[in-house]
């Protein structure tokens, strides 16, 4: 009986997913147990699955505390909240929600680029404040034809590139290895990429190697006319360096959907017209989040029925 299978929810997810999990399984919410030791002492033997997300996953300590754990299904593409080596060691299956959010995140990336270059948010404030009556808004910068550099030419990076081509933008990229089947220009380092593009998009997974991949050297290479767009993870960017570069005018602008210590955002950015700040909503539409939830549920169902996982990572 599925109702007897214990599932531990370790991240806030959309209500639809939480309700479906609650209906199908014996659901435990980690925030209901301020002392996780009480949760583990009472229910560890019943918990066979963990459902995580952007703000919560499964580290080695959690995995070791759940001796019956068989599968971790995360309501996200990123795997940075899960100890993958520990899962491999213990034979725990891991799955995420790729593909279904690719278009959504890529769409928003283009929106961020336009919002920064054309100052869309500041223009909106200009009209609402009544300043238009005092004179026209200043001239901004066009997007079409600008060189777009992409860090990480995976699903999302490729979708961003395809959209940017629609604006007649030359595309270049950096990844760990050159993509032999790619028509885009490859640079073997992020600094070289940043030196040769107007707009730098971070679209790679967060790993030890990509932590703070955007540092002072990269920001300076992008320069006072360059724009940084981050739709990856906040920890891709050395945030204090980004803040100082924007305040000092060493970087032309930034569009940020993610931050190092969410939901905390450096307040120094709040007054900058050349910065657009979003609350990590890259995949945040009803359609896409519902599709992601269905993938989480589908992977759990497949596992407990002994069928192949829909989107296996491990």
Q: Which of 140, 120, 122 is nearest to 131 (CA)?
A: 122
Q: What is the distance between the alpha carbons of residues 102 and 158, in angstroms, rounded to a whole number?
A: 9
Q: State the first-to-last Cα distance of the chain, in angstroms, to the nearest integer.
A: 25
Catalytic residues: 233, 262, 280
User: 163: which 2 tokens?
Assistant: 């959209």
Spell out the SS3 assignment of 206-234. CCCCCCCCECHHHHHHHCCCCEEEECCCH
Q: What is the distance between the alpha carbons of residues 130 and 173, in angstroms, rounded to a whole number?
A: 42
∠ at Cα 18 (15, 22), nearest 5°? Answer: 135
Q: What is the distance between the alpha carbons of residues 305 and 187, in angstroms, rounded to a whole number?
A: 46
∠ at Cα 284 (280, 285), nearest 5°? Answer: 165
């Amino acid at each position: 009986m599925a109702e007897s299978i214990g599932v531990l929810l370790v991240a806030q997810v959309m209500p639809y997913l939480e309700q479906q999990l609650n209906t199908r399984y014996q659901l435990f919410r980690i925030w209901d147990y301020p002392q996780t030791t009480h949760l583990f002492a009472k229910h560890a033997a019943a918990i066979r699955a963990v459902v995580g997300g952007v703000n919560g996953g499964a580290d080695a300590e959690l995995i070791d505390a759940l001796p019956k754990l068989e599968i971790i299904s995360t309501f996200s593409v990123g795997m940075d909240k899960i100890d993958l080596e520990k899962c491999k060691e213990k034979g725990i299956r891991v799955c995420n929600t790729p593909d279904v959010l690719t278009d959504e995140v890529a769409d928003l990336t283009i929106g961020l680029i336009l919002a920064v270059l054309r100052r869309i948010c500041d223009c909106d404030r200009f009209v609402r404040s009544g300043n238009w009556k005092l004179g026209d808004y200043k001239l901004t910068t066009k997007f079409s034809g600008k060189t777009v550099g992409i860090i990480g030419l995976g699903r999302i990076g490729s979708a961003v590139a395809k959209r940017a081509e629609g604006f007649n933008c030359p595309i270049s990229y950096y990844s760990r290895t050159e993509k032999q089947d790619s028509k885009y220009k490859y640079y073997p380092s992020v600094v070289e990429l940043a030196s040769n593009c107007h707009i730098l998009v971070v679209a790679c997974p967060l790993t030890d190697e990509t932590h703070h991949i955007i540092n002072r050297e990269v920001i300076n290479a992008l320069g006072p006319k360059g724009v940084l767009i981050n739709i990856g993870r906040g920890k891709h960017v050395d945030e204090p360096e980004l803040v100082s570069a924007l305040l000092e005018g060493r970087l032309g602008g930034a569009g940020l959907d993610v931050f190092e210590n969410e939901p905390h955002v450096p307040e120094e950015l709040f007054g900058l017209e050349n910065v657009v700040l979003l609350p990590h909503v890259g995949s945040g539409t009803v359609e896409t989040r519902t599709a992601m939830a269905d993938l989480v549920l589908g992977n759990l169902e497949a596992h407990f029925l002994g069928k192949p996982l829909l989107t296996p990572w491990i």
